[in-house]
Structure 1
Amino acid sequence: MTTIRHVLFDADGVLQQVRGGFYTAAETVLGEHARAVLDEASERERPLLAGDEDFLPVLAQVLREQGREDVAATDLYAAVWQNTEPSAESFDLVRRLRAAGYGVHLGTNQVKRRAEYMRTVLGYDDVFDVNLYSCELGVAKPDPAFFEKAATRIGADAASVLFVDDHPANVDGARSAGMAAVHWCLDEGHDALVDRLAAHGVHPAG
C-alpha cells in the first residue's frame, strides 16, 4: 500500500457549514419559499461550478421565476452562500496534520464568486498548501478528472493522496482516479474522522 503523504479536504460539510443550515438560513429572507428557491438555484448552479460565469444573475432569474422579485439576489446570496462558519476543530486537525509532515490541500466545488469569498474573506489560501476550486480547474467533482488535475497541481502521485468528502459520489470519484478516500461529515464528529484517517496510516500530531 502506498504511503499517504497528502490529505485533500472538501470544504462544505467537512471544513465549513452554513450557519443554522442551508434552508434555515434562507428562510430569514424567503420564508416558506426557501426550499423551492434553493433547490432550483442549486440545480442551476451546477453548470457554473466548472466555469467563470457569475452566479448572481442566475439566482436573480430563479427568484423571478419563483415569484420572489421582491428579494434581491445579493441579499439571498449573503444570507446563505456567504453565511459560512468554518469549523475550528477541522482547521485544528489541518494544522496538526501539517505539523506531522503531511501536505494539506483544499479540493472543493465552488462557483467563482464563492471561491473568491473563501480566498479573500475566509482566508483559505493562507491555510492550505494547494487550493483547488472546480471553477478554476474547469471540472467539478465527482468527475475523476477533477482528482487527476488535483494530483497534478499538488505534484504527487494520486495514490499518495487521501481525500475527505461528505458526498459518497465524490469519494467514489477520487477512488476511481487512484486516490485513497474517506466519507465523513461534520455531524459525525472529529473523533470519527481521526479514526478513518488512522485506518489509512495517517496520524495528526498531538
Structure 2
Amino acid sequence: MTTIRHVLFDADGVLQEFPGGFYHEAEQLLGDRTREILAVASAREHPLLSGTDDFLPVLAGVLREFDVDVPAADLYAAVWQNIEPSAVSLDLVQRLRDADYGVHLGTNQVRRRADHMRATLPYDELFDVKLYSCDLGVAKPDPAFFQKAATRIGADPAAILFIDDHSPNVEGARSMGMPAVHWRIPEGHDVLLELLAEHGVAPAGHDA
C-alpha cells in the first residue's frame, strides 16, 4: 500500500457550510418556490463549473422564467456567497500541514464563486495547491479532474487521500486510483479523524 503523503479537501460540506442551510436565506427572497427555482438554477450552473462563463446572467434568466422580481445579484449573494468556514476543519488542515502532509483544495466552482472564495476565505494561504474546476477545465466526478489534480500536486494518485461529501465524487477519485473517503461536517470531526486513521494519516497532536 502506498503511503499517503497528501490530503485533498473538497470545500462545500467539508471545509465550509451554508449557515442555516442552502435554502434558508433564499426563502426570504423566493418564498414557496425556493426549492424549485434553486433546483433549476443549480442545474444551469453545472455546465459552467468547467469553464469561465459568468453564472450571474444565467441566474437572472432563471428568475425571469419564473417571473420573480428579485435581482440576481441579491439572490446570488444570499445563497452562493453565504459561506461559513468550519473552524474545526481549518484547524485540522493546519494540523496536517504541521505533520508534514501536503494539503490541497479540490472544489467544483464557477468562476464568480471561485473568485469570491479566493478574496474572502483563507484558502490561498492555508493550502499548498488550489484546484478549482473552472481553472482545470473539468469538474468532479470526472476522473480527469483527479488525474489533473495529481499532476498539479506532483504525486501519484495513490499517495493522495481525497475527502468529499458527495459520493459520486468519491467514486470518481477511486476510479483513478486515488484513495477517497465520504464525509460531511454534520457527521463530526471525530468520524473524520477515524477515517484518516484508517488510511494511516495522523494530524499533529493525534496518533493514527
Same fold at TM > 0.5: yes
Moved more, 122-131 or 151-160: 122-131
* Per-residue deviation, 1:38: 0.5
1:127 and 1:34 map into 2 onto residues whose CA distance is 35
- Matched length: 205
Equivalent AA in structure 2 for residue 41 of structure 1: A
Indicate the SS of the match to 2:161: strand
Indicate the SS of the match to 2:23: helix
Indicate the SS of the match to 2:138: coil
1:8 paired to 2:2: no
Which residue is 1:122 aligned to? 121
Which residue is 1:169 aligned to? 168
* Per-residue deviation, 1:123: 2.7
* Per-residue deviation, 1:126: 1.1
**Matches of residues 1-206 of structure 1 in structure 2 within 5 Å?**
1-68=1-68, 70-206=69-205
* Per-residue deviation, 1:24: 1.3
Equivalent AA in structure 2 for residue 125 of structure 1: D
Give the ranges of 4+ consecutive aligned residues of structure 1 lying more than 6 Å apart after TM superposition.
none
Unpaired runs of 5+ in structure 1?
A: none
1:25 and 1:136 map into 2 onto residues whose CA distance is 28
Unpaired runs of 5+ in structure 2?
A: none
2:114 and 2:167 map into 1 onto residues whose CA distance is 22
**With structure 2 as the length reference, what TM-score do the two structures score?**
0.97
RMSD between aligned alpha carbons?
0.6
Deviations 1:163-198 (A, max 9, x none): 000011000000011100000001100000000000
Would the aligned equivalents of 1:164 and 1:182 in 2 still touch at CA under 8 Å? yes
Indicate the SS of the match to 1:169: helix
Percent of aligned positions that are identical: 71
